[in-house]
Structure formats: C-alpha cells, structure tokens
Chains A and B, each alone.
Chain A
C-alpha cells in the first residue's frame, strides 16, 4: 500500500479565514513533505519533516504553518492567504530523506477569494 491521503480535496477560503490541510500515511514513512503546484508548473517544495522535526523550510511565508503531530500525520495551517496562494497543495511521504522515492497524495485544490 503506497497511499497518502489528503483532506479536503477542494477548499475555498477568504483572505481572512483560517483553515488547515491534512495529510495521513500509514506506510511507516519517517519523512513527510508539503509541495505547492501552480497550473502547468512542476511541484515546488515548501517543507520537509524528518522524524517529526522540521528539517527544510524553503523560505515559505509565515501565513503557511506546518505541523507534524505524529509520524503518520502532517498538517498545513493557513491564515491570511492571498489570491496568488491558490494552487494544488500536495503532500508526500518517503521512507527517509536519503535516496528514497516519495509517494504523493492526490492533493488539495485551494482557491483563495
């Protein structure tokens, strides 16, 4: 089973709202990732967690706040977003952060109005 589950599938939020994206995997993977993908562009790395600790933050604005409550769960808290933050947000996991492939969820389509 190589399933990464993301909820919700679609989200529309106003610029003053607070919302959260959720990601779950039960493959025993110890690295989890958030990516952002705009239309017709490749995924861009936002954050990497390794063993539940933040190991990479690609200079992401503070209106995006990641959280890793345990080894199976990854959240992305959203606050005061801008319309240009509208994108497909992808979660991925891998066995480790060295040499291993990452498996992706189906993404959350976020629209900021």
Chain B
C-alpha cells in the first residue's frame, strides 16, 4: 500500500535552533515528492518538488533532500514566522497526489 509517513508529529524550536523534519515513503512508481507549508485555515503553499534520489532544493532557510526511502526538510536558524504545518506529499503511478499527516512546527522567539 502506498504510504507517506511524517515525523515528528509536532516540533517546538527556539528561534535560531536548526532541525530537520522527516518524510518516509513507500510508494510504487513515485512520480515526485512534494513539500508544502500550511498555515491554520489556509490552503497548502507549495515549497519544493523532488524527483530523484540525491536531489536537493533550497529556499531561504529551507532545504529539502531526497533519498530512495525518505525526504528531509532542513530548517536553518528558524524564525517565528516559519511556524506552520509542513506537509509532505507523493504522486503515485495512478497520478494521485496524497499527503502525509504533517509536522506542526512552532518556533519560539
């Protein structure tokens, strides 16, 4: 069964304290691994697409990486405005885009 699992479920960081979020996937015929940010009551905001193992993408304080079994979202020196839920999603051979349960990140000033 295709599955995307994220950990931890929730993460509290002090401002400036770097960390990583994990997304493990078991998807047959993966056609892309996607990271989104979602603020409460809003739609997910697209961050990154990763297609092949070894690929890396960066945007401001965020860096996403992909291996054959998992993806990491590294947050360097986070700020309070980085607080949000971060969602990982996989696109399958059936072209379904389905999501992990997310990591709720809180950055404390």
Contact (Cβ within 8 A) B46 A43: no
- CA A48 – CA B36 in complex, angstroms? 19
Is A56 within 8 A of B95, CB to CB? yes
Contact of B49 with A48 in the complex, beta carbons under 8 Å: no
* A86 CB, min distance to chain B CBs, angstroms: 14
Q: Which residue of A lies closest to B104 (CB)?
A: A40
Across-interface contacts of A42 in B (CB, < 8 A):
87, 99-102
Quick check: A101 and B49 within 8 Å, CB to CB? yes
Separation of A109 and B40 alpha carbons in the complex (Å): 12
B74 at interface by CB-CB < 8 Å: no
Residues of A46-103 at the interface with B, using a CB-CB cut-off of 8 Å, are 48, 55-56, 58, 88, 90, 92, 94, 97-103
Query: Footprint of A on B, CB under 8 Å?
Result: 31-32, 34, 36, 41-46, 49, 51, 87, 91, 94-102
By secondary structure, the A interface counts as strand
Q: Sample 20 A-B pairs with CB under 8 A, ordered by A number.
A: A4-B43, A6-B43, A41-B101, A43-B99, A45-B98, A55-B95, A58-B96, A88-B41, A90-B44, A98-B31, A98-B95, A99-B31, A99-B51, A100-B49, A101-B32, A101-B34, A102-B97, A103-B46, A104-B43, A105-B43
For the residues of B in contact with A, the DSSP-based class is loop
Number of residues in A with C-beta < 8 Å to the partner? 29
Contact partner of A99 (CB less than 8 A), chosen from B36, B87, B91, B99, is: B91
Shortest CB-to-CB span from B26 to chain A, Å, is 16
A106, CB-defined interface residue at 8 Å: yes
